[in-house]
Structure 1
Amino acid sequence: MRVLIAEDERMLADSIAEGLRAEALAVDVAYDGDAALERLGVNDYDVLVLDRDLPVVHGDDVCRAVVESGGSVRVLMLTAAADVPARVQGLSLGADDYLVKPFAFEELVARVHALGRRARPADPPMLARAGIRLDPARREVYRDGRYVPLTRKEFGVLAELLRADGAVVSAEELLEKVWDEHIDPFTNTVRVTMMKLRRKLGPPGVIETVPGTGYRIR
């Protein structure tokens, strides 16, 4: 899942981003509304965590632009205004959910995950193929009954390959969905991660490289 944090309080924005990355999410950060709109125009996000009182372009206008674009990104609006009329107004702009500051980080994570499930087709309780079983909720992977410890990025790559259900997934798609905008598009990170993932899954090999196209699980 890829998330954009649009929040002008830099310490808060960076703290949210760090916490969500620890949840194996790909996270980008924008510190004003104009930067948020720029990133939304370039990248495909599942969830936008949007501070309502953004500078340059107000959060309300960012929310309107997201709704008018007709995309699938879900909006979690953050605000210091706790009164009911403010919450109703935020939701009427097209926000999918509303969270009042200060908030418990665990609640924000739960809401982001819930919105992410709405932004894409729901995963089954267990992703399985070729003897691999991946539990998205518990972030656990088993190969032929053997537990396989994976890093966050290895888990994210494997999840995307399993979701493709045998179709080829390009390195560019993996970079888009598993990493964030700071990754060098010419990096060999995907290839290195794939090598480590294959090693951990063990023989026989199930991840196939399709030359010039990408990867798939046979």
Structure 2
Amino acid sequence: MRILLVEDDIPLAETLAEAMTDQQYVVDLAEDGEQGWDFVKVFDYDLMLLDIMLPAIDGFALCQRLRSHGYKMPVLMITARDTISDKITGLDAGADDYIVKPIDLGELFARIRALLRRGSNVMPPILEWGGLRLNPSTFEVSYDHQFLRLTPKEFSLLELLLRSNRRVLSRSVILENLWKTESSPDEHAVKVHIRSLRQKLKTAGADEDFIETVYGIGYRLKSFA
């Protein structure tokens, strides 16, 4: 899951980004409304965490712009004032929810999970493929009832493949979805993670080609039809 955080308070933004990264979200950080708008035009986001008081374009105006251009990702607004007027203005601008500073991380994660569920009605809570089961809420993965110990990036890569439902993912698409823009490695990193995932799945009893290579294009899960 990829989240855009638009927040000009850099210490707060870095703290929130680190906490969300620990929860296995990929987080991009924009420091003002214009930069946030530029990010949205380039990348697909599952959710935006949007401060109200921003340079260039404030949160209300950015949210209105998003909705007027047809962007439908959930928007969770951050407000420093727990006032009804701010909440009404934000909701009228197109926001889906709000959270008040100082931000409690437990509440933040609960609101993010709720918004992602609301915006992803077609996605089952447990992702399954053959003997594989992945629980996005508990970060547990098993194959034929054997639990797999995965790194955060391996988990995110496997979740991306499961949600793609046999669509072939190129290495560049995988990089775009799993790494922040400013810290994206080269495509060799994808090969390394795919190789590790295959080995762990094979050890649990999966076929060697459970993750198929479509040569010259990318990767997908093996069909069991």
Conservation of the 8 A alpha-carbon contact between 2:60 and 2:89: no
User: Is 1:59 matched up with 2:62?
Assistant: no
The TM-score with structure 2 as length reference comes to 0.91
Alignment RMSD: 1.5
1:27-52 deviations in Å (ceiling 9; x for gaps): 00011111111111111111110000
Opposite residue 215 of structure 1, the aligned amino acid is: Y
Q: How does 1:74-153 map to 2 (within 5 A)?
A: 74-153=74-153
Opposite residue 167 of structure 1, the aligned amino acid is: R
Question: Which residue does 2:194 correspond to in 1?
Answer: 194
Opposite residue 212 of structure 1, the aligned amino acid is: G
Question: Which residue does 1:18 correspond to in 2?
Answer: 18
1:75-97 deviations in Å (ceiling 9; x for gaps): 11101111112211111111111
Instruction: Provide closer, same or farther for how the CA distance between residues 187 and 166 of structure 1 changes in structure 2, counting only shifts above 3 A.
Output: closer
Identity %: 40
Structure 1 residue 59 displacement after superposition: 1.5
Matched residues in 2 for 1:21 and 1:122: separation?
Answer: 24
The TM-score with structure 1 as length reference comes to 0.94
Matched residues in 2 for 1:52 and 1:102: separation?
Answer: 14
Structure 1 residue 159 displacement after superposition: 0.9
What stretches of structure 2 of length at least 5 have no aligned partner? none
What stretches of structure 1 of length at least 5 have no aligned partner? none
How many residue pairs match? The answer is: 218
User: Is 1:211 matched up with 2:219?
Assistant: no
Conservation of the 8 A alpha-carbon contact between 2:26 and 2:180: yes
What secondary structure, in the 3-state scheme, does the structure 1 residue paired with 2:28 have?
strand
Conservation of the 8 A alpha-carbon contact between 2:171 and 2:187: no
1:72-129 deviations in Å (ceiling 9; x for gaps): 2211110111111221111111111111111211111111122223333442132111
